[in-house]
């Protein structure tokens, strides 16, 4: 399955090491003879001109980024500017043959300026972010300067590795300017949490050192082919690093979001919550579920916004999803995607065999599909095995978006009350221990909240800027807004339109905010609200009472549309 997915990248199997050996041999034939004088001060052989040229055209580059992220509590302002470095490597795109640089999304997230530098070259070249996917932590860079690409030969992708396969990680870790190579072996292949986005996707664990600055660099097999992209390490551990494997990279390269070609649609989900019964030795639960002689997972809930909600029920037992691979939807400038061979259907277990010693959660088979594709399911319902064919899958939005990168956050201010959409980075302001230190009601929404409808995203009262009407409500900041004059708040866009309407209809606006024991109420006199808002904007040097994207939208549009984040 993985070999076929890697081949979908349409890259030939020639090895980098073979190419370099051939280049070195040619340089020895074409260059001047190497004599006693052709050594450096340390006695090492000096490269002939042709070989030196190939060396300076290394496909692994250093990425320099300047970042400026938004202040999620006061979105009209930004945090201080920061600089960082990472790694990347050149590859050739399948659909148009263009040379690009593949790196990690976290290397260029919120980037205002990006440069790249080749190994052995002192010149930096301006780069642009052409495509980015924060969910799988991948990004594609382009360089418009043709001089950068002179002599550059792209790296090629290899098959999915196996346990104990040797790997080399190439990149530019902190502590020096030159390229670094570390070696190790593949020690584990399983679904892991991606630190940049919080998504749980397939990852390859290796024991080669991956340090800050290595992110985005290639992990190479013994033939010099890319088997993954280095992206994170295990905190408080030595020599435990992770790389993004070929199946995830292949999905990223061909996946498109209809609304924005710069961003993939994402990895689909079935939208179910499940539990695995105890091993067969404890048969009471299996007997209760009618699963004698069978294995599977019990569906304990279905997300209301998932397409599967119309076909699956709580209490169903998922016996076997169909693991067959479907081609992604065709897109402009892409050749038809060649379907791979049919993979073996899952055995009736919550995991699937990957090799002689490896098993993966069945969720990975769903991750390999694309938005609005279908998966066949074999389900046990009321003791009877049924086939539920063509269950749609698509990426599902979390109630609280885990990231807030690259775009400004919307906001609006009413009489000194600052309202923002709830995103997980809001709680990161409490530090690394935000799960213990941040307001518990908000933490629970992040950890266990689920959308009841597609456009739902909680709104927070992030700040109470003192004014004659708000001075007594300062302790009610950092709380979820539940309703305005008894009408439910669905998301920030809907709430802004709701406040605009009620401002013209009512003498007072009553904002209910979530508190332990019951909601608290903030009452604002509408006759003086606008005048106080103007004074607040002037006092705190805020450019506008609402972000530009909120202006001019009707309440109906806000209710029917998706939240911004």
Residues designated as active site: 106, 137, 215
Separation of alpha carbons 170 and 431, rounded Å: 32
Structure tokens at 314: 């709580």
Separation of alpha carbons 127 and 100, rounded Å: 10
Contact of 460 with 533, CB cutoff 8 Å: no
Residue 530, CB half-sphere, CA atoms under 13 Å: how many?
Answer: 6
Long-range contacts of 477-482 (CB under 8 A, 24+ apart): 478/439, 478/442, 479/439, 479/441, 479/442, 479/513, 479/514, 479/515, 479/520, 480/422, 480/441, 480/442, 480/445, 480/513, 480/514, 481/419, 481/511, 481/512, 481/513, 481/514, 482/512, 482/513, 482/514, 482/519
Separation of alpha carbons 498 and 73, rounded Å: 21
Contact of 116 with 127, CB cutoff 8 Å: yes
Taking Cα atoms as reference points, which of 451, 454, 393, 401 lies closest to residue 269? Answer: 393
Separation of alpha carbons 372 and 123, rounded Å: 45
Separation of alpha carbons 95 and 423, rounded Å: 35
3-state secondary structure of 147: helix
Taking Cα atoms as reference points, which of 520, 503, 507 lies closest to residue 555? Answer: 503
3-state secondary structure of 413: strand
Contact of 421 with 564, CB cutoff 8 Å: yes
Contact of 116 with 61, CB cutoff 8 Å: yes
Structure tokens at 23: 């280049």
* Polymer length of the chain: 565
Q: Is the dihedral of CA 239, 244, 247, 250 positive or negative?
A: negative
């Amino acid at each position: 399955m993985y070999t076929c997915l890697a081949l979908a990248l349409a890259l030939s199997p020639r090895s980098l090491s073979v190419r370099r050996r051939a280049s070195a041999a040619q340089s020895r034939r074409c260059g001047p003879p190497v004599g006693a004088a052709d050594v450096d001060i340390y006695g090492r052989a000096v490269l002939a001109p042709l070989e030196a040229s190939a060396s300076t055209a290394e496909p692994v580059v250093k990425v320099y980024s300047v970042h400026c992220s938004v202040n999620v509590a006061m979105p009209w302002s930004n945090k201080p500017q920061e600089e960082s470095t990472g790694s990347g490597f050149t590859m050739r795109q399948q659909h148009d043959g263009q040379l690009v640089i593949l790196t990690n999304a976290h290397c260029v997230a919120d980037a205002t300026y990006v440069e790249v530098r080749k190994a052995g070259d002192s010149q930096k070249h301006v780069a642009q972010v052409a495509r980015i996917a924060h969910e799988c932590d991948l990004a594609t860079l382009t360089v418009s300067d043709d001089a950068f690409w002179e002599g550059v030969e792209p790296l090629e992708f290899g098959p999915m590795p196996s346990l104990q396969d040797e790997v080399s990680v190439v990149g530019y870790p902190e502590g020096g300017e030159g390229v670094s190579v570390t070696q190790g072996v593949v020690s584990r292949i399983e679904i892991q949490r991606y630190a940049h986005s919080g998504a749980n996707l397939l990852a390859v664990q290796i024991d080669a050192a991956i340090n800050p600055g290595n992110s985005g660099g290639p992990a190479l097999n013994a033939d010099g082919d890319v088997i993954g992209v280095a992206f994170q390490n295990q905190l408080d551990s030595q020599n435990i690093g992770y790389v993004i494997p070929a199946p995830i990279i292949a999905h990223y390269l061909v996946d498109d979001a209809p609304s924005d070609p710069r961003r993939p649609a994402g990895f689909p989900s079935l939208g179910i919550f499940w539990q695995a019964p105890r091993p067969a030795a404890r048969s009471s639960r299996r007997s209760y579920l009618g699963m004698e002689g069978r294995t599977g997972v019990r569906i304990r809930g279905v997300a209301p916004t998932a397409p599967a909600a119309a076909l699956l029920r709580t209490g169903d037992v998922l016996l076997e999803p169909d693991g067959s691979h479907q081609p992604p939807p065709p897109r402009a400038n892409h050749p038809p995607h060649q379907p791979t061979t049919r993979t073996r259907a899952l055995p009736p277990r919550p995991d699937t065999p990957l090799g002689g010693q490896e098993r993966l959660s069945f969720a990975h088979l769903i991750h390999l599909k694309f938005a609005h594709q279908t998966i066949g399911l074999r389900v046990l319902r009321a003791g009877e095995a049924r086939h539920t064919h063509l269950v749609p899958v698509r990426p599902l939005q979390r109630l609280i978006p885990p990231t807030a990168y690259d775009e400004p956050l919307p906001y609006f201010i009413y009489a000194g009350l600052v309202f923002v959409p709830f995103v997980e980075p809001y709680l990161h302001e409490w530090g690394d221990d935000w799960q213990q230190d941040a307001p518990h009601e908000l933490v629970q929404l992040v950890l266990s909240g689920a959308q009841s409808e597609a456009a739902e995203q909680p709104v927070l009262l992030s700040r109470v800027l003192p004014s004659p009407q708000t001075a007594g409500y300062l302790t009610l900041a950092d709380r979820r807004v539940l309703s305005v004059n008894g009408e439910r708040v669905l998301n920030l866009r809907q709430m802004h339109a709701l406040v605009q309407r009620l401002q013209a209809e009512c003498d007072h606006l009553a904002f209910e905010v979530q508190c332990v024991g019951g909601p608290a109420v903030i009452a604002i006199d509408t006759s003086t609200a606008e005048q106080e808002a103007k004074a607040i904007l002037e006092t705190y040097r805020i450019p506008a009472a609402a972000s530009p994207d909120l202006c001019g939208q009707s309440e109906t549009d806000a209710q029917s549309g998706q939240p911004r984040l």
